[in-house]
Structure 1
């Protein structure tokens, strides 16, 4: 009877949570309908276009996420996302818009997953330079600018800084989490194999620090990125990069006075003083007692629209996130789902060329091959061009190798042509919670891919054989796709990462350039010109899926026994890690976890 009441009340609680979710959904729909009736903001004549950089700049199109939807309804100011192509088009459109007098850059970029990488921000900076070339002034106002912010605002004619501000750039570092100690402490078994001396992804799970080969490769890439960064920010101001580096070593971070002293910023101003300056350009806006301005978000709504041409289009297909087997989740590249997108695009008679935008550290070798197969089939029908974002390595390079041409930025991280095998087992963790596993089987290795016991030395040898087979296949594919001698590929492979600059020199990429350059090239190859109409795929996500998923999860949590919740939570967190490692053979072409370069 006690168990009956427990289950009864748990069911009631789950029903209540679900009902509340539906009620909330109803209220949100009412709010959204009301917000849809509002007209698109008009751009005032003589405006200063204000680009609030407090957003994540992502490659793929931006949809109405759950958080953005709620913010829209309740009038909040939550996180924002801007798509790279829309932002570029808006900034360049403003250069020739008579209603826009100047551009003001404010705020600080947000990073979410693979968004706001330096390679993407390089393209944003280039669009600001296009605006600047029109003769209209570009200003920037910062308080606590990060390295990403400095990289972009260095294109401004004048940079103003709050007198109490601090430059949040203390140099670049590359950090990896090493989980060896964590796995040991919590009884999570990990067994790894690899092909490639520099293939460091396996080290993430078994070591407690960086290996010497990994340190060598990481240091070389970081040095290239740092020199490119220094050159870019110095080009927009009259200061010596060596002096800047010396100051960082001396002070760690620069105070506003320090930044002004070396010419990194032009003038120290409080907000009211900035407003007065902007009023001198656009005049007084009487209602707000500020200056006449148009927010970049409002401007994009008015001037950026879907493109169509009866002559045909270039399909821009986004591969952003870790590559996983199957359909994948938000922030992942599902091998099956992306292959399906590419297949539909190549079968669409309106699509005359394809640009694959890759911003991925790789992942499942099988999923990478599924995607690559569709890329090769597309290439038989139309020009296929790859544009590499901030990271296009390992599996990200696998899916790029057979394209007609590869564009990368100097600060793109690519290469990592190597393979690992990663196998988790939860035997010790389960035993700690009183769970034991027993097995009957028909053959010696029937449970080889199970996660309930460690693999034997013989079994790890069998796994290594598969890793070597996949690595050999990877090398041959790069050799064939890039038309490089196999021995040359072996020399530059081994899992080593390369900067875009070095990748160009050794033949892994064809040209330095961004997404717009790749689209222009694809358009010309297809006979559509350098400014072709485009269709972006996959289409932007729908917030409804997120909303229903969260409601269902809340109901499931409510019906879970309170005593079991800590265990469920732990297994769920482990599952999040495991979901990235779902290759059926346990073989991966992937970078170590998520690389963060700041």
Structure 2
């Protein structure tokens, strides 16, 4: 028996040691592969090449420095992405690259917002001025896909495919019924009749004010959508509206008859046409290079060696306290970056690139303060992406100038707080009760195991009112308008870019590059470098954490399927704390 236990113990120890060694070996291999991928040289571009533009990948503000994207990790293929600015920069370079003969667009369901698609579409139209051709082909075009593809010289559809063209829709998910069944009360404190971010927690349908603002901004988005297609396809916007309103595109042939596409073709037909456009004979293989690979070849600054610099500071994602991440605006990280740019004498101007629905009111104010200080010593230009609303607008309102896309979503100047009351859930559903003692009347203010008292609600409401008044003051000072006027267009109301310019929340419509040019002009410099901040986070630092998150996300999506967006919204809502300046919607083109 003694010998038996000795062998068992030895076996267990051996297994443990082997497991540890294998784990270390696994990490070493991963790090080696990652380092190799990060040191990847520029790819060579063959003569007579086709630039392959995959617009179904995730299009972000900045190309992520993600070493996991090239590793055989579950779910990593789904995360392939490119920053919109790198994509646009690559298209600009391809205009004058003699090796690039044409562009081939493949798109079915683009993962990008309205303003981002507008930036890309404008870059495609600019590429066409080189007289090089753009060909678009897909088996299925969603509306967002068709908006992008319509910029091409030729738009082709599979003979058995589909083109979706039906108009835009905005839909809000309401949780009140579910919360009632669970015994959870969402106690709402807010300022602004249009601040509808909290409606899903206390109502089961849209309020009249919310329906009004959604109707207005959706029509604004739709106008930009139709106008772009109309100009490219030489069909009036009115005709396009009638086609969509009557759902006239039901079969592939309908798309051809109504001149939405140029021909119905199979993939082999497209390949032959691309060979002809790129100067290849029919027996030769097609030479292609992906936009991702080509973007790695392009220089990120202007190519200038000047000491003069323009700092582009990306503020992307929800606004929160602390460091945040590349996809989240941490007040510490972003304010530190702005401060660094302000103190750097070689940086002559700052472009604040905002793509955010808002978040923490306190964190927004911390970032706003640094913009105010920076503005005193050098020009600060704000460039708005898909969304720059609520807290996203707060952090930029002090800029010298605000440039938006026509279909940017902005405004939403309002404040709210949500304090959940779990009393019925604890008491009646779970049989849990609470009891205790306190030394002050408000020692347990914000408790979630009981409803708020009238006194507590008054305290919270006063705090929300104070934050709202500060918000109005910041905007009024930045936009040089009266608080009374700003209040009349605020109240949580959401606006599209064109309306934001009309009412004075923004200065003009334009692209991200227009903002850089404007910054240089205001700084009175012609020769300069463009430097991007903040520095991307070290990919090795969060290697294992990212791997875990990717695997968890992959299996959660697999398990929940179509219900995954519901899970995301609930998770996001439950994770918020403190007073919020946040946009009321998640907007997607369907």
2:302 paired with 1:301? no
The answer (yes or no) to whether the contact 1:64–1:541 under 8 Å persists in 2 is no
Cα distance change of structure 1 residues 138 and 597 upon mapping to structure 2, 3 Å threshold: closer
Partner of residue 393 from structure 2, selected from 376, 390, 397:
397
Match of 2:558 in 1: none
- For residue 485 of structure 1, report the CA deviation from its aligned partner: 2.1
2:465 paired with 1:463? no
Q: Deviations over 1:255-309 (max 9, x none)?
A: 321111111111111000111111112244899x642222212211112345664
Secondary structure at 2:66 match in 1: coil
Cα root mean square deviation, aligned: 3.1
- For residue 131 of structure 1, report the CA deviation from its aligned partner: 1.1
Higher relative contact order (CA 8 A, sep 6+): 1
The answer (yes or no) to whether the contact 1:194–1:420 under 8 Å persists in 2 is yes
2:186 paired with 1:190? yes
Q: Deviations over 1:99-118 (max 9, x none)?
A: 1111111133542xxxx111
Secondary structure at 1:251 match in 2: coil
The answer (yes or no) to whether the contact 2:74–2:550 under 8 Å persists in 1 is no
Q: Deviations over 1:459-484 (max 9, x none)?
A: 11221111111112211221111001
Partner of residue 480 from structure 2, selected from 480, 483, 508:
483
Q: Deviations over 1:535-584 (max 9, x none)?
A: 1112223443443326788999xxxxxxxxxxxxx9999665332x222x
Partner Cα separation in structure 2 for residue 181 and residue 39 of structure 1 = 56
Match of 2:329 in 1: 333
Secondary structure at 2:382 match in 1: strand
Secondary structure at 1:401 match in 2: coil
Moved more, 541-550 or 125-134: 541-550
Q: Deviations over 1:398-425 (max 9, x none)?
A: 1111100000011011111111121124
Partner Cα separation in structure 1 for residue 515 and residue 107 of structure 2 = 29
2:417 paired with 1:421? yes
Match of 1:55 in 2: 57
Moved more, 251-260 or 460-469: 251-260
Q: How does 1:90-489 map to 2 (within 5 A)?
A: 90-111=90-111, 116-251=112-247, 254-284=250-280, 290-305=285-300, 309-329=305-325, 331-431=327-427, 432-433=429-430, 435-489=432-486
Partner Cα separation in structure 2 for residue 271 and residue 572 of structure 1 = 37
Match of 2:7 in 1: none
Cα distance change of structure 1 residues 306 and 208 upon mapping to structure 2, 3 Å threshold: same
Secondary structure at 2:186 match in 1: strand
Moved more, 13-22 or 320-329: 13-22
Partner Cα separation in structure 1 for residue 446 and residue 394 of structure 2 = 24
Secondary structure at 2:513 match in 1: helix
- For residue 373 of structure 1, report the CA deviation from its aligned partner: 0.5
Match of 1:525 in 2: 522
Secondary structure at 1:98 match in 2: coil
Secondary structure at 2:324 match in 1: coil
Give me the TM-score of the superposition, normalised by structure 1: 0.87
**Stretches of structure 2 lacking an aligned partner (at least 5 in a row):** 1-14, 553-565
Match of 1:511 in 2: 508
- For residue 438 of structure 1, report the CA deviation from its aligned partner: 2.9
Q: Deviations over 1:446-504 (max 9, x none)?
A: 22133333212221122111111111221122111100122221211111111111111
Partner Cα separation in structure 1 for residue 332 and residue 19 of structure 2 = 34
- For residue 69 of structure 1, report the CA deviation from its aligned partner: 3.7
Tell me the matched-pair count.
Answer: 562
The answer (yes or no) to whether the contact 1:275–1:290 under 8 Å persists in 2 is no
**Stretches of structure 1 lacking an aligned partner (at least 5 in a row):** 1-12, 557-569
- For residue 171 of structure 1, report the CA deviation from its aligned partner: 1.5
- For residue 597 of structure 1, report the CA deviation from its aligned partner: 3.9
- For residue 243 of structure 1, report the CA deviation from its aligned partner: 3.0
The answer (yes or no) to whether the contact 1:21–1:551 under 8 Å persists in 2 is no
